[in-house]
């Protein structure tokens, strides 16, 4: 009887070992291949990086084509909607956009049909959409100053020189030819909460905050942000918005860049 019991126990133990071995083999078969999993992660990461890199490309036509004129780097393709206009790159004195229209928005100066109420058509259409969206959210915006001719820039600059001297004037107001307003793609925006003035207090108003957070959805960027004065060459202007198109505006907004920094990072294709 004892012998029979020993045989049965041995059989059960043997069966248990075989079952355990089967389970181990089965688990090993089901265990993910760590090498394969690592490769998959790397592939996905590379795919994401490629997607990011593809975002940072721009057609060559949107880069400044410059020529030195009287010691200035003058932009020859001035009608380019992505033109980088600043203290380094100037527009020709005779450049006037050929598609200027008056957007159907509220102006701080009412219905006067004057130079500064105009924008290039693409920028004007986007401005109308932006103002309408803001109004739907209880935000009332007023356009204050759009297109500015070379002659008008000269008048504004001289007035500032007379007021505060040439050095300070160059920090506050663009030297003629270096103003984005001449592109017809920039608009100064204000509100009743700051008495329709262009002041830094606009930053703290509901209108200023809405613009900062939403302008990119319509292709506009806050052109001279706080903390980027050394990059742009201009003091913080919470009222000055520049049209660059929705794709570029989204990238600039998400990466907290200026237009200068965008062109420092984007690849020409």
Q: Residue 170 maps to which CATH number?
A: 3.30.1380.10
Q: Are residues 207 and 258 in the same domain?
A: yes
Q: Are residues 86 and 27 in the same domain?
A: no
Mean pLDDT, range 145-157, rounded to an integer: 95
Radius of gyration of the chain (CA): 31
- pLDDT of 115: 97
| CA distance to 61, 116, 181, per residue, from 178 (Å) | 20, 16, 9
Q: Are residues 28 and 105 in the same domain?
A: no
In a domain, 59, yes or no: no
Task: For the chain, give percent helix, strand, coil, nearest 5.
Answer: 50, 15, 35
Active site includes 68? no
In a domain, 157, yes or no: yes
- pLDDT of 55: 83
Q: pLDDT: is 50 or 140 the higher one?
A: 140
Predicted TM-score (pTM) above 0.85: no
- pLDDT of 174: 84
Q: What is the DSSP letter of 107?
A: B
Q: Are residues 40 and 88 in the same domain?
A: no
Q: Are residues 94 and 215 in the same domain?
A: yes
Q: What percent of the chain has pLDDT over 90?
A: 72
Judge whether residue 90 has pLDDT over 70.
Answer: yes
- pLDDT of 35: 52
Exposure string over 24-58, b if 16+ CB within 10 A, otherwise e: eeeeeeeeeeeeeeeeeeeeeeeeeeeeeeeeeeb
* pLDDT tens-digit map of 123-142: 999 999 999 999 999 999 99
Most confident range (mean pLDDT) of 35-39, 69-73, 186-190 is 186-190
Strand partners, 221: 242
Q: Are residues 162 and 194 in the same domain?
A: yes
Tokens of 239: 């009222």
In a domain, 60, yes or no: no
Count the alpha carbons within 13 Å of 34 in the hemisphere toward its beta carbon.
Answer: 1
Mean pLDDT, range 215-224, rounded to an integer: 98
In a domain, 58, yes or no: no
Exposure string over 116-131, b if 16+ CB within 10 A, otherwise e: bbbbbebbbbbbeebb
- pLDDT of 53: 67
Q: Are residues 77 and 183 in the same domain?
A: yes
Q: Which residues form the domain of 25?
A: 2-53
Query: Structurally, how many domains does the chain consist of?
Result: 2
- pLDDT of 246: 98
Which one from 237, 246, 254, 261 is the annotated catalytic residue?
237
In a domain, 73, yes or no: yes
Closest by CA position to 75, among listed 50, 92, 56: 92
């Amino acid at each position: 009887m004892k012998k029979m019991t020993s045989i049965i126990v041995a059989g059960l133990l043997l069966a248990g070992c075989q079952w355990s071995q089967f389970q181990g083999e089965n688990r090993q078969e089901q265990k993910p291949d760590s090498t394969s999993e690592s490769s998959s992660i790397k592939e996905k990461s590379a795919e994401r990086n490629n997607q990011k890199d593809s975002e940072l490309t721009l057609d060559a036509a949107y880069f400044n084509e410059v020529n030195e004129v009287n010691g200035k780097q003058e932009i020859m393709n001035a009608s380019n909607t992505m033109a980088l206009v600043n203290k380094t790159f100037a527009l020709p004195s005779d450049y006037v956009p050929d598609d200027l229209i008056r957007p159907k928005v509220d102006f701080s100066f009412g219905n006067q049909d004057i130079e500064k109420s105009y924008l290039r058509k693409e920028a004007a259409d986007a401005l109308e959409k932006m103002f309408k969206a803001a109004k739907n959210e209880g935000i009332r915006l007023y356009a204050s100053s759009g297109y500015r001719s070379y002659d008008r820039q000269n008048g504004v600059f001289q007035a500032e020189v007379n007021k505060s001297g040439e050095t300070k004037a160059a920090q506050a107001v663009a030297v003629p030819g270096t103003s984005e307003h001449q592109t017809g793609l920039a608009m100064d925006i204000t509100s009743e909460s700051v008495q329709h003035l262009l002041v830094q207090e606009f930053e703290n108003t509901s209108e200023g905050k809405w613009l900062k957070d939403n302008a990119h959805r319509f292709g506009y960027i806050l052109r001279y942000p706080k903390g980027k004065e050394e990059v742009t060459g201009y003091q913080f202007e919470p009222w000055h918005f520049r049209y660059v198109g929705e794709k570029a505006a989204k990238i600039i907004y998400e990466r907290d860049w200026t237009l200068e920094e965008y062109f420092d990072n984007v690849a020409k294709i």
